[in-house]
Chain A
Amino acid sequence: MKREDIKVLLMRAPGTNCDLETVRAFRDLGVQADLVHVQKVFRDKNLLDYDILVLPGGFSYGDYVRSGAIQAKEMEYRIGKEMVEFVDTGRPVIGICNGFQVLVETGFLPGFEGRSQYPEAALANSSHGYQNRWIRMKNVGKGNCTMLAHVPEDHVISCPIAHGEGRFILPSDRREKLLQRLYDNDQIVWRYVKADGSFADGEWWDNPNGAFHDIAGICNPEGNVLGLMPHPERAYYGYLMPEWTKAGAPETYGDGRVFFDSIVKYVESKF
């Protein structure tokens, strides 16, 4: 489909707050990006009018109970059917930070057997409390997450994290088994790495929250639902990069662009 016909739905709940930079990134790529309150989506039930669904970061409903839990339950109750239908059509769903938490809480991720009734993983309290700082993550996917087909293999993106809960964990009694399953399904997409590109190996600082296996982002077995804790949208422009005054060239794009660019290119060619 034509780029200018691509429609992105960014759903916001009370407390969503990374919508501005996410909308800006998509619009810069020449697609239509609508920022819509969840209540309106619940009323209109028009999910399928869109080609890409994005759940931006923030603190939906204050993250009371558990991060993303309230928004997840509300969505499940009000538009659960439409959500499943949207995912089944193969269209991309992206959850960033709080959006990732919502996707885990709704059972779409990791989604070993399709959508699960209960969360199969958790994005738990981070080892060092809330932090906002820059990290590096490597694209370790082997092609299953098709929307990232235009991000080169092993490509490293620098971008910020900003969360107090985002430590990806699996049930401890089945952890290794489930990890193997994630690998078998090619579901692990982003892992935290050190400055030299090697994996953080659980070491704090490069792995900012104690995430199991340095996991920063995963997709579902079908590859069209993607969640990640870091914020590529905050690294979209050159002047947002941490050392742009040294590197010069603030007009150029930052590390995060390739992420959004790939998603748009994928939809452009696939649908």
Chain B
Amino acid sequence: MKINKRLISVMGCAVLLSLTTGCATRTVDKHARNMAGSCAACHGTNGHSVGGAPVLAGLDKTYFITQMKDFKSGARQATIMNKHAKGYSDEEFALLADFFAAQK
């Protein structure tokens, strides 16, 4: 009985914790962040390109997703991006779009 009560309070804490971290990190999905890490070689840290490749930081979400889908289908031709786009799913496009849109 005592144990159960403790268990419940632990569970309550866990729920509270997950709620708070959920709120605090809504814009930092770690899986998306980790995945976006690979884009930095060409597009800069967090999408802040310092070279000739486009800046992704702060890019409009819908625009990002449309471009990626067009790269994937071949509707938009590019040198590299048609290959990379084919490697990701639509769900991953959305995750990446969220991540880059949130970069200031």
To the question of whether A and B form a pair in one complex, the answer is no
